[in-house]
Structure 1
């Protein structure tokens, strides 16, 4: 099956494209900063699992790299010894932090895994977000990150992969030049009856991760 490239606003039925789909991998990538001695682009993928009130039912349904672990940690099977944040019901397993976007060819910088069969019935949609980590939260404590925005970051994308087969189902490349914003709601997985669909959102905000937390908690 060929992967589908989505544009902003497009909707796509995951269940129709991959019948029996259980676990999806959400991969995110971006190009490192090519300015000599420039500050790293440290992007983070996160997820908010929302109920009918457009809020997370509890703190465990906000999944990001610095999340307080709920329940048992699951050791990452791809990088021994590294652990991922995970929801209490183990439906969403978050990413291992990549601080600069220097992935190997063909690899995603960050990824998370969602077991659609375990998502709580009260959760109606999963918002997948990308934010720029800035001083003083960045690893290198570089004050220059305070002025970073998505307009400076090239080739930022997310893609959805059928974890069982390794086949990429869809991809959404961020084409907007967000010259002020440092947080993007990339897309959302949402229920349609007993099936799951994906919408490419591309909705940007300023205020990095905290802005999204204020919206959905």
Structure 2
């Protein structure tokens, strides 16, 4: 298993022949927080073209749209509290089904209703993404996000992208203010 740090890129399919189905598992803990609200983090995926834009809104995968039309990317469902060990939310990706126009799959996490609840990623710790080979259950890589965030309410955790016919993984870890709406705008979707 490879441990990545921010900004690192790694070959997925080239160095793991036969890797076609992966699970992106995302997890987090919330620090002591007494605002009286649940802390609901949501994982999403944006299926973007070469220009980094989502051209079909059904290729934005989140709790209200759990899979894209090709069924290449499937969200396994919303976890509203983040309690417990291991992955809090999972997104499954089948590289063999990804449509030709999709060049990158961005994995993101946002805080639901952050503004109204006065919440941000400064109150979140131990956030990570890990990629698991769905067929063997082997953890291929892991990226721990660290404590780099304070006021942000959305994070682009990582991108899986095509390069010369192979898939690679980029540990991005960049934060946004403005939650899901800001991310949608970044990927060319109007909210």
Q: Same fold (TM over 0.5)?
A: yes
Give a deviation string over 1:93-115, Cα, whole Å, max 9, x none: 01311111102x3x311001010
- CA separation in 1, counterparts of 2:12 and 2:183? 25
Corresponding position of 1:110: 89
Match of 2:67 among 44, 62, 86: 86
Q: Cα distance 1:55–1:35, how it changes in 2: closer, same or farther (>3 A)?
A: closer
Give a deviation string over 1:28-63, Cα, whole Å, max 9, x none: 011144446753221111011111222112111100
Bigger proportion of residues as strand: 2
**Which stretches in structure 2 are left out of the alignment for 5+ residues?**
none
Q: Is the 8 A contact 1:10 1:200 kept in 2?
A: yes
Corresponding position of 1:43: 41
CA drift of 1:8 comes to 0.4
Please report the TM-score for the alignment, with normalisation by the length of structure 2: 0.92
Query: Would you say how many aligned residue pairs link Structure 1 and Structure 2?
Result: 188
Corresponding position of 1:95: 76
After TM superposition, the structure 1 = structure 2 runs for residues 17-166 of structure 1, keeping only pairs within 5 Å, are 17-35=15-33, 38-67=36-65, 85-103=66-84, 105=85, 107-134=86-113, 143=116, 145=117, 147-166=118-137
- CA separation in 1, counterparts of 2:128 and 2:144? 4
